[in-house]
Chain A
Amino acid sequence: DVKVTQSSRYLVKRTGEKVFLECVQDMDHENMFWYRQDPGLGLRLIYFSYDVKMKEKGDIPEGYSVSREKKERFSLILESASTNQTSMYLCASSSLPGQFNEKLFFGSGTQLSVL
Chain B
Amino acid sequence: LAKTTQPISMDSYEGQEVNITCSHNNIATNDYITWYQQFPSQGPRFIIQGYKTKVTNEVASLFIPADRKSSTLSLPRVSLSDTAVYYCLVLTGGGNKLTFGTGTQLKVEL
Which residue numbers of A lie inside 8 Å of B, CB to CB?
4, 33, 35, 40-45, 48, 50, 56, 58-59, 90, 92, 100-101, 103-109
Contact = CB atoms under 8 A, between A and B. Distances in A.
A4 B42 CA distance: 12
A45 B98 contact: yes
Contacts, number: 61
21 contacts: A33-B98, A35-B100, A44-B99, A44-B100, A48-B96, A48-B97, A56-B96, A59-B99, A100-B91, A100-B98, A101-B31, A101-B34, A101-B91, A103-B34, A103-B49, A104-B44, A104-B46, A105-B46, A106-B42, A108-B43, A109-B41
Interface of B: 30-32, 34, 36, 41-46, 49, 87, 91, 95-103
B97 A104 contact: no
Nearest to A41: B102
A105 B105 CA distance: 20
Nearest to B102: A42
Contacts of B43: 4, 90, 92, 106-109
A105 B34 CA distance: 13
B101 A42 contact: yes
